[in-house]
């Protein structure tokens, strides 16, 4: 769309709708498309202001925090699993460590 069309009143409704999709997160694909639309709207300063007014900043921060929390949880679960695997005699041998005394070989 040319910038002249995006600065009209319909652009405000478009930005509100796109930010709503990011905030509501109906699906991962919908959020991805909405983020692409926002990215395409940002080159024009009036659209950036409209996005901020529509709550894009808080929606994006919540999205980033949620993704970071999920990533941390996955990493913690993976680390616990790695600790369990590496805690076995066989796992320590593969890692190059020595088995604990009294452990079976």
Return the domain boundaries, the chain. Answer: 3-95
pTM above 0.85, yes or no: no
**Token pair 């993976």 in the structure block, residue:** 78
CB neighbours (10 Å) of residue 68? 10
How does DSSP classify residue 2? -
CA distance 29 to 31: 5
Task: Report pLDDT digits (tens) over 19-38.
Answer: 999 999 899 899 999 989 98
Query: Could you give the C-alpha distances from 97 to 65, 90, 103, in angstroms and in order?
Result: 37, 10, 13
Tell me the pLDDT band of 51, cut-offs 50, 70 and 90: confident
């Amino acid at each position: 769309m040319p910038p002249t069309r995006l600065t009209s009143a319909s652009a405000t409704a478009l930005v509100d709708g796109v930010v709503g999709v990011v905030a509501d997160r109906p699906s991962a694909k919908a959020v991805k498309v909405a983020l692409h639309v926002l990215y395409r709207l940002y080159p024009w300063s009036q659209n950036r202001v409209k996005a901020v007014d529509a709550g894009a900043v808080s929606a994006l921060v919540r999205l980033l925090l949620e993704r970071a929390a999920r990533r941390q949880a996955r990493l913690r679960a993976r680390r616990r699993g790695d600790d369990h695997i590496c805690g076995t005699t066989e796992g320590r041998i593969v890692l190059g460590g020595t088995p604990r005394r009294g452990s079976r070989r």
